[in-house]
């Protein structure tokens, strides 16, 4: 089945230790998104790729970076995680970028910072 | 903020009852979508309603959109325990290329 896969599902990292979360998709969608979701809150868009074009949200901290080496994969790098970065990180894809279309989400990676 | 507001924040009903959730937003939209999220999981798309549509059905789901009031409602009929989840509206604002998610309604269906 076509899907969005996130690894790992649970990640524990130490304060200040870089961490990378990964997302892959078999849907061949051209747009990939990364969201941060804290407990009982709405998903907050961090950035997205429209094909190879990177679009950063204005309030996304510099501590968060992303890479998309090809259509199928997208990575979220947190260079120096703080306690406030503990959250669920959701990857999503959609088939177009001009106007929002239905987004397909992965199961998420829950990040714990100790 | 362009984030939508949902009402109520939490809703608890008995199995078999109907559940209604409301979403309000602030600016003109192209479409509005509803998503469901089970605890600790990703979001699942439920239904999309375009700005020129007033009502849409999908199975036990009924969505209405009132662009004059900038509001939408999601009705789940004959609820089941498996409907227990958080429900989010998401708006595609005119001129934006992304979705903006509402604050969510936490639905609990008691068997």
**Selection from B73, B76, B32 nearest residue B52 by Cα:** B32
> Shortest CB distance from A102 goes to which of B48, B98, B104?
B48
pLDDT, tens digit, for every residue of B60-71?
A: 999 999 999 999
A69 inside 8 A of chain B by CB: no
Q: Does B88 touch chain A (CB under 8 A)?
A: yes
B71-104: pLDDT as tens digits:
999 999 999 999 999 999 999 876 666 788 998 9
Contact B97 A90 (CB under 8 A): no
**A108: Cβ contacts below 8 Å, ≥ 6 apart:** A6, A9, A37, A88, A89, A90, A91, B40, B41, B42
In this predicted structure, the answer to whether residue A98 has a pLDDT above a threshold of 80 is no
Question: 3-state class of A5 per DSSP?
Answer: strand
Q: Over chain B, what is the mean pLDDT?
A: 92
A16 CA to chain B: closest CA distance, Å? 25
Q: What are phi and psi of A109, to 5 degrees?
A: -120, 125
Using CA atoms, how far apart are residues B54 and B69, in angstroms rounded to an integer? 12
Cβ-based burial of B98 (10 A; exposed 0-12, middle 13-18, buried ≥19):
buried
CB contact at 8 A, A60 and A77 = no
Please tell me which residue, B41 or A81, carries the higher pLDDT value: A81
**Strand, helix or coil for residue B58:** strand
Q: Higher-confidence residue: B11 or A96?
A: B11
Cα–Cα distance, A48 to B96 (Å, whole number): 13
Residue with more model confidence, A100 or B67: B67
CB contact under 8 A, A100 and B45: no
Interface contact B43-A48, CB threshold 8 A: no
A103 vs B45, B96, B106: nearest CB:
B45
The residue of B39, B42, B90, B104 whose CB has the most chain A CBs within 10 angstroms, and thus the best one to mutate to test that interface, is: B42
Tens of pLDDT, residue by residue over A38-96, are: 998 999 999 999 999 999 988 999 999 999 999 999 999 999 999 999 999 999 999 87
**Cross-chain Cβ contact B44/A97 below 8 Å:** no
CA angle A18, A46, B2 (to 5 degrees): 155
If one counts every other C-beta atom within 10 angstroms of the C-beta of residue B107, the result is: 21
In the predicted structure, residue A97 carries a pLDDT above the cut 70: no
pLDDT tens digits, A10-29 = 999 999 999 999 999 999 99
Q: What percent of chain B has pLDDT over 90?
A: 76
How many Cβ pairs closer than 8 A exist between chain A and B?
60
Contacts of B105 by beta carbon, 8 Å cutoff, 6+ apart: B6, B7, B8, B9, B10, B11, B21, B86, B87, B88
């Amino acid at each position: 089945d076509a899907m969005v896969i996130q690894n790992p599902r649970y990640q524990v990292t130490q304060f200040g230790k870089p961490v990378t979360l990964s997302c892959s998709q078999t849907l061949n969608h051209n747009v990939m998104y990364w969201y941060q979701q804290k407990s009982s809150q709405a998903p907050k868009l961090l950035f997205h790729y429209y094909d190879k074009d990177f679009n950063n949200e204005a309030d996304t901290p510099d501590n968060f970076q992303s890479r998309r080496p090809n259509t199928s994969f997208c990575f979220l790098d947190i260079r120096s995680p703080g306690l406030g970065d503990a959250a669920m990180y959701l990857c999503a894809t959609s088939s177009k970028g001009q106007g929002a279309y239905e987004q397909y989400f992965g199961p998420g990676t829950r990040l714990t910072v100790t | 903020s362009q984030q939508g507001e949902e009402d109520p924040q939490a809703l608890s009903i008995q199995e078999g009852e109907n559940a209604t959730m409301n979403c309000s937003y602030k600016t003109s939209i192209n479409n509005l979508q509803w998503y469901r999220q089970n605890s600790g999981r990703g979001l699942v798309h439920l239904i999309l309603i375009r700005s020129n549509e007033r009502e849409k059905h999908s199975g036990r789901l009924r969505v209405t959109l009132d662009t004059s009031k900038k509001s939408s409602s999601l009705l789940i009929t004959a609820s089941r325990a498996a409907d227990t989840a958080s429900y989010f509206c998401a708006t595609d604002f005119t001129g934006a290329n992304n979705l903006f998610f509402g604050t969510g309604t936490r639905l609990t269906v008691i068997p």
